[in-house]
A and B are shown apart, each in its own frame.
Chain A
Amino acid sequence: MNALAGEGYEVEFRPDEDCVRMSGALRLGGLAEYAPISAMLEEALQGRERLVLDLTGLEFLNSSGIATLSRFVISARNHAQCGLVIRGSNEIAWQGKSLNNLKRLMPSLELRFD
Chain B
Amino acid sequence: MPGTDPYVKVLDIEQTLADLNRAMDQLRRERDDLEIALTTAVEHGDAIEAQLELANRQLQREVRERRAIEVQLRQLVATISQKSRDLEVVLQTITEHSDQMDLHWLDRYRQSEDSARRDPLTGLANRRMLDERMADEWARARRQRQWLAMLLCDVDHFKTYNDLHGHQAGDDCLKRIAETLCQELHRHNDLIARYGGEEFVLLLPDTDEVGAQRVAESIQRAFEKAALPHENSPHGRITLSIGAAAMIPDEDDEGALFAEVDRRLYLAKQQGRNLIVASS
Contacts and interface: CB of A to CB of B under 8 A. Distances in A.
B104 A101 contact: no
Contacts of B100: 93-94, 97-98
B81 to A, nearest CB: 14
The secondary structure that dominates the A interface is helix
Say which size band chain A's interface belongs to: 10 to 19
B103 A98 contact: no
A102 B100 CA distance: 15
A98 B104 contact: no
Interface stretch (A14-22, A63-71, A80-88): A63-71
A98 B96 CA distance: 7
A36 B32 CA distance: 92
B90 A67 contact: yes
Given A66-B94, A67-B94, A70-B94, A101 B89 contact: yes
The secondary structure that dominates the B interface is helix
A8 B261 CA distance: 49
A101 B86 contact: no
A98 B100 CA distance: 9
A101 B101 contact: no
A70 B89 CA distance: 9
Given A62-B101, A63-B98, A93-B100, A98 B93 contact: yes
A101 B93 contact: yes
A63 B99 CA distance: 10
B68 to A, nearest CB: 25
Interface of A: 60-63, 66-67, 70-71, 74, 93-94, 97-98, 101-102, 104-105
